[in-house]
Amino acid sequence: MARIVGGLGISHTPSMGLAFDAGMKGEWEPAWKPWFDGTRPVKEWLADLAPDHIVCVYNDHLNHFTFEAYPTFAIGVADAFPQADEGWGPRPAGGPPFPPVPGDTDFAWALTEHLIRTESFDLTVCQELALDHGVYSWLPYIADAPWPAPMTPIAVNMIRHPIPTAQRLRDLGAAIRRAVENLESDARVLVIATGGMSHQISGTRFGIANEDLDRYFLANLKDNMPALVDLPQTEWMRLGGTEAAELGIWFAMRAALSDRIDEIYRYQVFPKITGCGVIAFQEPS
Ligand SMILES: [Fe+2]
């Protein structure tokens, strides 16, 4: 039986990725260097954990999907997931592009089968899927290319309302746990969820953020998720900006884990515009 060995919640932003590329050339923006330093323990932990597979719940930002058809939930079933074109060309600029994130179609099909047929999550199946900064911005902070394990990405609509509820995202995580445990392999699986923390990038409230809200979220995710889930999404948006709703994606990671987890690491910083944070949980062996 496959099993989930840990969970990682991590924020993403476009500038996080571009800052990494500049940093690798010795040109760190001062605002971003603390995030790099703060993610070093996660990179060490991930290397030690050495999962066989990663299930990553993330959101696209109109870089692969378009308003012509924006699925509420979609799953990538492919051998590889290349970078989406976000308008600045493949990263890192000036160097060989990052290799595509590898996939495992056998794993992904089995997960898809269970999630659709048993759990009634009607995922859009993507046999071609390009990943934007929702994945590629933080990935090089926590692992070196070539990437350490195949990934099954699950995309959540956070762009066009109505977005899925916090309760639905929590339920997705619980379903992922059951789906993994239903697999006939002995894979050790890491579940990652990624969404921006507090921020707003549109309208008259552009630029608002709330570091206290981000701190409250991280402090309560392990032992008090029901209180976070019960806070209406409109309240998350009012307190932390409209894009703070992406924090709901992290519920899928937490709900995929048991209540016996240890919190391994937590870090939070505010480089610019968007709150950034990371939290790592591990199941007992
Ligand atoms: Fe985002």
Among candidate residues 209, 225, 210, the one with its CA nearest the CA of residue 263? 225
The pocket of ion ligand 1, defined by CB under 5 A, consists of: 196, 246
pLDDT of residue 93: 87
Dist CA 266 CA 207 (whole Å): 24
How many angstroms is it from 14 CA to the middle of ligand 1?
8
Q: Which residues of the chain have pLDDT under 70?
A: none
- Residue 167: CA atoms inside 13 Å, Cβ hemisphere, count? 3
Is 64 designated active site? no
**CA pair distance 209, 97, nearest whole angstrom:** 32
CA of 246 from ligand 1 middle (Å) equals: 6
Catalytic residue among 64, 133, 199, 243: 199
DSSP secondary structure string for all residues of 200-230 = --SSTTTT---HHHHHHHHHHTTT-HHHHHH
Distance 34 CA to ligand 1 centre (A): 20
The CATH fold of domain 3-282? Protocatechuate 4,5-dioxygenase; Chain B (3.40.830)
114 counts as catalytic: no
Q: Which residues contact residue 1 at a Cβ distance below 8 angstroms, ignoring those fewer than 6 apart?
A: 181, 183, 184, 186
59 alpha carbon – ligand 1 mean position (Å): 6
Q: Where are the beta strands (DSSP E) in 136-179?
A: 151-156
Q: Say how many C-beta atoms besides its own lie within 10 A of residue 162's C-beta.
A: 8
Query: Before 102, cis peptide (omega within 30)?
Result: no
Residue type, position 276, single letter: C
Distance 13 CA to ligand 1 centre (A): 6
pLDDT score of 208: 84
Active site residue 12: yes
Q: Quote the ligand 1 centre to 194 CA distance (angstroms).
A: 8
Which H or E run contains 49?
helix 33-49
List, for residues 199-230, the tens digit of each pLDDT value: 888 889 988 889 999 999 999 999 999 999 99
What's residue 270's pLDDT?
Answer: 93
Say how many Å lie between the CA of residue 182 and the centre of ligand 1.
30
pLDDT at 168: 98
Residue of 64, 86, 133, 246 marked catalytic: 246
State the catalytic residue, choosing from 53, 61, 64, 114: 61
Specify whether 199 is catalytic. yes
